């Protein structure tokens, strides 16, 4: 069986893909100017280690009242689920005042 048409087809698809990729690179979001950078949001971050759900709720409510937003948590629970944590690390952010 002749592989030449298949190889030419793959080469043509590759060339078209390269051309489209090169043209699409002009459609990317441009780098921010100095003036735009000055107006971009800046963030403060804080991470805390908490050991139970009640403590998490109370702490999160206090931080929420101060404009902090929870952005993630990580850790490992013992058997028994979320109310039986080994230790958990919770992270929050808020705009720089």
Domain ranges of the chain: 42-97
Give the separation between CA 64 and CA 84, rounded to whole angstroms: 24
State pLDDT tens for residues 29-70: 777 777 777 777 789 999 998 877 788 889 999 999 999 999
DSSP 5-43: HHHHHHHHHHHHHHHHHHHHGGGSPPPPPHHHHHHS--E
Statement: residue 97 has pLDDT above 80: no
pLDDT for position 64: 94
pTM equals 0.53
Q: Environment class of residue 90 by beta-carbon count within 10 Å: exposed (0-12), middle (13-18) or buried (19+)?
A: buried
Statement: residue 1 has pLDDT above 60: no
List the CATH code of the domain at 42-97. 3.30.70
Neighbouring C-alpha atoms within 13 Å toward the C-beta of 4: 1
């Amino acid at each position: 069986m002749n592989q030449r048409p298949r190889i030419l087809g793959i080469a043509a698809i590759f060339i078209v893909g390269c051309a489209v990729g090169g043209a699409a690179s002009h459609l990317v979001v441009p780098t921010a100017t100095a003036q735009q950078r000055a107006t971009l949001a800046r963030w403060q971050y804080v991470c805390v280690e908490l050991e139970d759900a009640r403590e998490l709720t109370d702490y999160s409510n206090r931080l929420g009242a101060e404009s902090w937003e929870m952005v993630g948590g990580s850790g490992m629970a013992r058997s028994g689920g979320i109310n039986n944590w080994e230790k958990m690390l919770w992270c929050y952010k808020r705009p720089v005042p």
